[in-house]
Amino acid sequence: MRDTELLAEALDLLEREFSGLPRYAPEVPGESRMASVLAEAAHRMGDNFPYFHPLYAGQMLKPPHPVARAAYAMAMWLNPNNHALDGGRASSRMEWEAVREIAAMFGWSEFIGHLTGGGTLANLEALWVAGQMMPGKKIVASEQAHYTHERITAVLRLPFASIACDENGRMDLTHLEAALKSGEVGTVVATLGTTGAGAVDPLPAILDLRKKYRFRLHVDAAYGGYFRLASNLDGDAARAFERISEADSIVIDPHKHGLQPYGCGCVLFRDPAMGRWYKHDSPCTYFTSQELHIHGGAQQSGGSCAVGSFAAELFAEGSLHLGEISLECSRAGASAVALWTTQRLLPLVRGGEFARGLERCREAALQFRSMIAAEDSFVPGPAPDLDIVVWAVRAATPAESSRRAQEVFDRAAKHDLHLALAQMPPRIFREAGWTSEHQPSAVTCLRSVLMKPEHLAWVDEIGRRLRNAL
């Protein structure tokens, strides 16, 4: 069934829910011109890469599931606001239920968390809380971590340091421990799925270091978090995901592998008491009725907002607004409805249909990397931890390799194969034969994110078009 048919049926059911209201004719400014303007917008949207097609194997752009698109559009007929129960009563409860399922995927039954507009804001909230817990202390992340961590800490006016990565693109433990010995580090960001190469930082070893040095551990799993459900990860990556429940906070992006429209991020804190940092007062937006909301929840000693175990009953009884545990104010309730609906259709369980889709992405990356390694014209990067493959064009120097990568990128697009370019440390291309003398800090390489399950059936065709681009 097409999305539009799903949407039409859902809208009919939604309309019946409000059938008891008196009918009225809403004013629609510009109604007579809507079709022509929408047609113009559709034409303009044609000036895009075909993100939905398997031949788009470039950036992290995964099509939303048809049920997510339909649910999002259906919810937009009401346009709920999940800042407060007044604006999004049903969608707030759906958000809690969906977030609870994500937390359970990571092994958490007690936690505090919510959806955000995306991974950047989710990470900002996690690092903001980390700064409250470790005031003035440095935040460190791998040099392959997302660049927003350094930018976020600048916004928060917290010190930041980058930790070198090893030849696999993972955080180097020797360099990390050297930074920890200074006593200046308050938070370590471990990335489970870097956006460059999909590398998974060695979480078990980082947890061992936490026993020796006092620091908060934040896991940025914005890209890779759902791979917790995959059964075909290699040992190191699998062990990292098995220990993710020991982190202090976790970020995941449902609008990446969670099959959701943009923007939908999620931040989770293992300790529900972290809700105290969000406490504020806004009677204008929080007034509903005594039945729906006990303002501020029950109070703990010290005047902090009591979140307790953050159990489902808080929402079932209407005693907590999501706006009380979020830095954002207005937030699209449609995001929560789409996520809830998708997870209702495809539960977050190992061995399930959703998990099998992730496993196909991982298998596609392994097959594609083997194909790259067999080509004399290319130098493969590290074996993929998840579903991202990076490779360099074979050349005498990193500079020449960078120039040729740009040429291959351009020619591939002419064959309707859309790749990505990335800046990577030359040392991760161990088979390139480049000497360490006078190497640049980065080489431009080619990168493919094989995040559509359909990519597995298209590996050979992608390889054929890539060879034609040489």
What pLDDT score does 2 carry?
78
Assigned token pair, 271: 């300790």
Mean pLDDT throughout 87-108? 95
At residue 16, the pLDDT reads 95
Burial tier of 316 (Cβ tally within 10 Å: 0-12, 13-18, 19+): exposed
- Would you state the pLDDT for residue 315? 45
What is the phi/psi pair of residue 162, to 5°?
Answer: -95, 135
- pLDDT band for 436, please (50, 70, 90 cuts): confident
Domain 353-468 CATH (choose: 2.60.40.10, 3.90.1150.170, 3.40.50.300, 3.40.50.970): 3.90.1150.170
pLDDT in tens, 334-375: 999 999 999 999 999 999 999 999 999 999 999 999 999 999
As a whole number, mean pLDDT of residues 291-320 equals 37
Instruction: Lowest mean pLDDT of 17-31, 196-210, 451-465, name the range.
Output: 17-31
Confidence category of residue 422, pLDDT binned at 50, 70, 90: very high
**Using CA atoms, how far apart are residues 411 and 286, in angstroms rounded to an integer?**
56
Q: What's the confidence (pLDDT) of residue 1?
A: 60
Give the whole-angstrom CA distance, residue 43 versus residue 36: 11
pLDDT of the residue at 304: 30
Whole-number percent of the chain with pLDDT over 90 = 84
Residue 435, pLDDT score: 84
Break the chain into its structural domains and give their ranges: 85-345, 353-468
Pick the CATH number of 85-345 from 3.40.50.300, 1.10.3720.10, 3.40.309.10, 3.40.640.10: 3.40.640.10
pTM: 0.92
Mean pLDDT (the chain, rounded): 91
Res. 456: pLDDT tops 50: yes
Tokens of 283: 């009677």
Q: Distance between CA atoms of 171 and 162, rounded to whole angstroms?
A: 10
